[in-house]
A and B are shown apart, each in its own frame.
Chain A
Amino acid sequence: MAERMGFFTDTSICIGCKACEVACKEWNQLPDDGFVFEATSYDNTGTLGASTWRHVAFIEQSRPVAAGGDDGVDRWLMSSDVCKHCTHAACLDVCPTGALFRTEFDTVVVQSDVCNGCGYCVPACPYGVIDRREDDGRAWKCTMCYDRQLGGLEPACAKACPTDSIQFGPLDELRARAEERVTRLRADGNTEARLYGESPDDGVGGAGAFFLLLDEPEVYGLPPDPVVTTRDLPAMWRWAGAAALSAVGAVALAFLGTGERR
């Protein structure tokens, strides 16, 4: 197995240019999203989906104390979201066909020639990443440019990002670099700077694609404390087993306790 590769998305230097969204669409030949105007911000893809594998979020924040500011808009947060390539990936766990698999780069990829569109991975992902393309019937998501990686290239989004907000590389190196960066930002007075998804102790065992955020994760549309639900699978089966036995017992009781024979 090759080294585990990952993305470190440093949102503090994202300028919201969407070059990553475009590069991803170009390289992976993804269909358009219907050219919807969200009318809430400069965001026009809204969310990650079957045909949007990088999504740039725009958050306009105003602070009540801002005096003489322009319309009260105090700062913009911009962040390019992507599949987290979880260490313990719920989508991969629940996929019944084996279409989702873990690559030699420790990323999570769908084999589109195997996926039968059962849709189980869609509500299983704790980040709402993977989705089914309705006209095509199969599930799609970021592959971390598996094909480019096989050819020794970095993923298209990282290549296109003009500020290096999206960084690609061995996960260990990225984690060390991110640690330095967040320490530096905090020292500079950005006390809200924090890493998201970098810890192997979190509910998904650490994300292969992690982030530096400037506010709470939910502000960016990210779950604050995601958990891979297959963690509870043994307990779930135990409860189901108990219910199955109860049903058997109740049926037996119904037959043995009913007076009329035949």
Chain B
Amino acid sequence: MTRERAMVPEAEFRSYYGRPVIKAPIWHEPHMPTYLYLGGLSGVSSSMAVMARLTGHPRLARTARVAAAAGAALGAGLLAAELGRPARFLNMLRVFKPTSPMSVGSWILAAQGGLSAIAVAGDLASDLPKTGGRAGRLPGAGGSAGRLPVAAGLAGFLSGAGGLAGRLPGAGGLVGLLPVAGDAALLATGVTGPLTATYTAVLIADTAVPAWHEAYRELPFLFAGSAMAAAGAACMLGTPPAHAGPARAVAALGAAMETVAGQVLERRLGFIGEPYRTGRAGRLMRAARVLTVGGGLLAVVAGRGRTLTALSGLALTAGSLYTRFGILEAGRASAADPKYTVVPQRRRLDAQSSPDRGSDAGAAQPAS
């Protein structure tokens, strides 16, 4: 029986009346996949805001800061709503457990949410009427330093800090502090942002769901690419096209990364990756791919054209969302059919075990 099974096609397996062996993820739509999208959006928007600040793209930096803060705040709201006991949301921060990607992620998200909010507040405060001998906040934007944007940006940070030191005893007060605190927080989101965008891949891969767990190498890249596409798209949509050049580049690179990671994932997983290709999940993933590739190509050619930019941004946003919904659905399908759990495990056992396993199954008929 066992020998036979080793040679027949993969669908040959035994089960208990075809029932699932593991429990499917109970996370809901639209909460969970939308959270994955928003986390990605927030995370990469932070990276963009940092780079925009350092290279002197104030318009783009403003949009990215807002997207980062809004994504994290909305995402946290969705997470709370997803809980069986939303009132116990703060129990997430009761402990720090390195063995739980959700615990680690909660702390990352808490940091990302707080820091990105401060970064926005700081940016808005810098618009307020100046209260006195303040150092220029954005020397990088002032022409001559334009050739060395990063250096100019850093000089901006430093002069901001210097201005702060000069002002501390004075009357600037809290509002005067905000732009500096905002920039400091922004720098910190340069670390929390990319983690926010990728920890969710570890979160779903650290489950018994075969289509998720076996994909733990590619999922983070898929998520990072999807997050770049999402953040690039949001910044394209929220910034005048003349200032959105880097956003278009981020979006296009993200679309490419997501597409390649998805292809590699499906190729490497083979049979276990079937749920990504079939049924509702397959349709969602295919739609995601079309939207992402299309949106990415549009981002490359859009230039300063408003219509093309809008089309590209919308397509990429939809593509990123479709990807996240498709991933959840594929996980459910992978858990619901016992063959994805049983067949790989049985093969593993058969590969290890001695021939004596073959004789013990008797003539009993498959119970499936």
13 inter-chain pairs at a CB distance below 8 angstroms, sorted by A residue, are A94-B206, A116-B85, A117-B83, A118-B82, A120-B100, A128-B23, A138-B84, A191-B360, A224-B349, A236-B205, A246-B221, A251-B47, A254-B246
Q: In the complex, A56 Cα to B106 Cα: how many Å?
A: 38
* Interface status of A30 (Cβ within 8 A of chain B): no
Which B residues are in CB contact (< 8 Å) with A223? Answer: 21-22, 341-342, 345
Nearest CB in chain B: distance from A254 CB, A: 4
* Interface status of A21 (Cβ within 8 A of chain B): no
Cβ-defined contact, B92 with A118, below 8 A: yes
Interface positions of B from 54 to 101, Cβ below 8 Å from A: 54-59, 82-86, 88-89, 91-92, 94-95, 97, 99-101
Cβ-defined contact, B21 with A116, below 8 A: no
Cβ-defined contact, B47 with A216, below 8 A: no
Q: Which 7 A-B pairs have the closest CB atoms?
A: A117-B84, A137-B84, A221-B16, A243-B220, A116-B88, A254-B249, A244-B194
The answer, among A216, A242, A255, for a CB contact under 8 Å with B220, is A242
Nearest CB in chain A: distance from B146 CB, A: 5
Which A residues are in CB contact (< 8 Å) with B27? Answer: 119
Cβ-defined contact, A98 with B84, below 8 A: no
Binary flags per residue of B16-46, CB closer than 8 Å to A gives 1, else 0:
1101111111110000000000000001100
The answer, among B84, B95, B335, B338, for a CB contact under 8 Å with A119, is B84
Q: Tell me which of A5-13, A40-48, A145-153, A155-163 binds B.
A: A40-48
Nearest CB in chain A: distance from B69 CB, A: 17
Given contacts A229-B213, A261-B57, contact A250 B228 (CB under 8 A): yes
Binary flags per residue of A110-154, CB closer than 8 Å to B gives 1, else 0:
000011111110111111111111101111000000000000000
Nearest CB in chain A: distance from B65 CB, A: 14
Interface positions of A from 52 to 96, Cβ below 8 Å from B: 57, 59-65, 74-75, 90, 93-96
The answer, among A61, A120, A244, A255, for a CB contact under 8 Å with B55, is A255
Q: How large is the interface on A (under 10, 10 to 19, 20 to 34, 35 or more residues)?
A: 35 or more
Q: In the complex, A219 Cα to B194 Cα: how many Å?
A: 44
Cβ-defined contact, A61 with B365, below 8 A: yes
In chain B, what residue has the closest Cβ to A72? B365
Cβ-defined contact, A243 with B360, below 8 A: no
Q: In the complex, A79 Cα to B97 Cα: how many Å?
A: 36
Nearest CB in chain B: distance from A74 CB, A: 8
Given contacts A119-B82, A133-B84, A192-B361, 11 further A-B contacts (CB under 8 A): A116-B85, A116-B88, A118-B102, A192-B360, A218-B13, A218-B338, A229-B208, A244-B194, A244-B197, A247-B225, A250-B257
Cβ-defined contact, A240 with B198, below 8 A: yes
Cβ-defined contact, B359 with A243, below 8 A: no
Cβ-defined contact, B97 with A95, below 8 A: yes
Nearest CB in chain B: distance from A144 CB, A: 20
In chain B, what residue has the closest Cβ to A134? B84
Cβ-defined contact, A95 with B100, below 8 A: yes
* Interface status of A239 (Cβ within 8 A of chain B): yes
Which B residues are in CB contact (< 8 Å) with A215? Answer: 361, 364
Tell me the total A-B contact number using a CB cutoff of 8 A: 298
Nearest CB in chain B: distance from A114 CB, A: 6
The answer, among B83, B348, B349, for a CB contact under 8 Å with A137, is B83
* Interface status of B301 (Cβ within 8 A of chain A): no
Cβ-defined contact, B224 with A225, below 8 A: no
In chain A, what residue has the closest Cβ to B195? A244
* Interface status of B363 (Cβ within 8 A of chain A): yes
Which B residues are in CB contact (< 8 Å) with A93? Answer: 99-100
Q: In the complex, A223 Cα to B47 Cα: how many Å?
A: 42
Cβ-defined contact, B198 with A128, below 8 A: no
Q: In the complex, A27 Cα to B146 Cα: how many Å?
A: 75
Cβ-defined contact, A191 with B19, below 8 A: no
Q: In the complex, A192 Cα to B356 Cα: how many Å?
A: 11
* Interface status of A257 (Cβ within 8 A of chain B): yes
Q: How many residues of B contact A (CB 8 A)?
A: 102
Cβ-defined contact, A131 with B364, below 8 A: no
Cβ-defined contact, A119 with B26, below 8 A: yes
Q: In the complex, A15 Cα to B203 Cα: how many Å?
A: 41
* Interface status of A211 (Cβ within 8 A of chain B): no
Q: In the complex, A123 Cα to B242 Cα: how many Å?
A: 47
Nearest CB in chain A: distance from B87 CB, A: 8
Interface positions of B from 310 to 368, Cβ below 8 Å from A: 331, 335, 338, 341-342, 345-346, 348-349, 359-365, 367
Q: In the complex, A134 Cα to B84 Cα: how many Å?
A: 7
Q: In the complex, A15 Cα to B68 Cα: how many Å?
A: 60
In chain B, what residue has the closest Cβ to A256? B55
* Interface status of A188 (Cβ within 8 A of chain B): no
Given contacts A59-B16, A95-B97, A258-B245, contact A194 B25 (CB under 8 A): no
Cβ-defined contact, B367 with A123, below 8 A: no
* Interface status of A17 (Cβ within 8 A of chain B): no
* Interface status of B243 (Cβ within 8 A of chain A): yes
* Interface status of B139 (Cβ within 8 A of chain A): no
Cβ-defined contact, A219 with B249, below 8 A: no
Cβ-defined contact, A128 with B20, below 8 A: yes
Cβ-defined contact, A94 with B101, below 8 A: yes
Cβ-defined contact, B253 with A253, below 8 A: yes
* Interface status of A180 (Cβ within 8 A of chain B): no
Cβ-defined contact, A98 with B95, below 8 A: yes
Nearest CB in chain A: distance from B128 CB, A: 22
Nearest CB in chain A: distance from B253 CB, A: 5
Nearest CB in chain A: distance from B59 CB, A: 8
* Interface status of A31 (Cβ within 8 A of chain B): no
Interface positions of A from 196 to 247, Cβ below 8 Å from B: 215-216, 218-226, 229-230, 232-233, 235-237, 239-247
Cβ-defined contact, B346 with A225, below 8 A: yes
